[in-house]
């Protein structure tokens, strides 16, 4: 083995030890950090693609978004995030990445991520309505720039569904209280 090869191996070992100490306490099966980084990269690439598409379409980004639209998009984001992450009907889309654990209340499921690597990272994302919220908010906001009327309509459907859910929950709570 040449001196150059020895130096290369020594540097690789040093780099490996540096990375291990930098990420000490993280990684392994519980936290697939490399795959989380890939998801962050995909999210960033989505933002870059949106900005490039807006520029190429000569779309001006809004200087501001009206408070009413922010509230509408916020409620819609909340509902769509929960539909993706918890709803029984969307379970087939999560199934490759999660394990069923049981019911989590009215029409929601309790699931846990399965597998390792990207399967696990996607399972973590798909079972977390808070995590999913950033992705849904980005999608709705990007859509709002290109198709505000359509986005308002879809967001209104989700917002009305959210209000209906709250009313159903209040009704059920009142029935229990009356007993």
Residues 6+ positions from 61 with CB-CB distance below 8 Å: 51, 54, 145
Nearest to 46 by CA among 117, 134, 124: 134
Residues 6+ positions from 91 with CB-CB distance below 8 Å: 100, 109, 111
Report the pLDDT value the prediction gives residue 9, as an integer from 0 to 100: 72
Q: Is 60 contained in some domain?
A: yes
Report the pLDDT value the prediction gives residue 179, as an integer from 0 to 100: 83
- 78, 162 Cβ separation under 8 angstroms: yes
Q: Is 122 contained in some domain?
A: yes
Burial of residue 162 (CB within 10 Å: 0-12, 13-18, 19+) is middle
Look at the chain and report how many structural domains it folds into.
1
Q: Is 163 contained in some domain?
A: yes
C-alpha torsion sign, points 143, 148, 150, 155 = positive
C-alpha torsion sign, points 136, 141, 144, 145 = negative
Q: How far apart are CA 175 and CA 179, in angstroms?
A: 7
pTM summary value: 0.80
End-to-end CA distance of the chain: give it in Å, rounded: 83
- 113, 98 Cβ separation under 8 angstroms: yes
Q: CA neighbours within 13 Å on the CB side: how many for 164?
A: 8
* Residue-wise pLDDT tens digits, 124-166: 999 999 999 999 999 999 999 999 999 999 999 999 999 999 9
Give the structural domain span for 127: 31-167
Tokens of 57: 């379409």
Q: Is 22 contained in some domain?
A: no
- What is the mean predicted confidence (pLDDT) over 56-64? 91
Q: Is 100 contained in some domain?
A: yes
Q: Is 172 contained in some domain?
A: no
Q: Is 177 contained in some domain?
A: no
Give Cα 41 distance to the centre of its chain.
13
- 110, 128 Cβ separation under 8 angstroms: no
Q: Is 36 contained in some domain?
A: yes
* Residue-wise pLDDT tens digits, 1-56: 677 776 667 666 655 566 566 666 665 557 889 999 999 999 999 999 999 999 99
Report the pLDDT value the prediction gives residue 22, as an integer from 0 to 100: 67
């Amino acid at each position: 083995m040449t001196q150059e090869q020895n130096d290369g191996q020594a540097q690789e070992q040093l780099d490996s030890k540096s990375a291990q100490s930098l990420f000490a306490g993280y990684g392994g099966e519980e936290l697939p950090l490399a795959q989380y980084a890939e998801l962050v990269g995909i999210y960033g690439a989505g933002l870059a693609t949106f900005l490039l598409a807006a520029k190429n379409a000569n779309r001006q980004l809004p200087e501001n978004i009206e408070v009413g639209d922010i509230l509408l998009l916020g409620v819609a984001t909340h509902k769509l995030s929960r539909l993706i992450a918890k709803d029984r009907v969307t379970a087939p889309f999560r199934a490759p990445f999660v394990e069923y654990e049981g019911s989590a209340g009215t029409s929601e499921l309790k699931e846990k991520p399965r597998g390792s690597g990207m399967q696990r990272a996607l399972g973590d994302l798909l079972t977390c309505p808070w995590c999913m919220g950033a992705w849904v908010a980005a999608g709705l906001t990007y859509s709002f720039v290109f198709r505000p009327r359509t986005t308002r309509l879809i967001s209104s459907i989700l917002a009305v569904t959210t209000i209906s859910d709250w009313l159903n929950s209040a009704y059920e709570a009142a029935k229990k209280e009356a007993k």
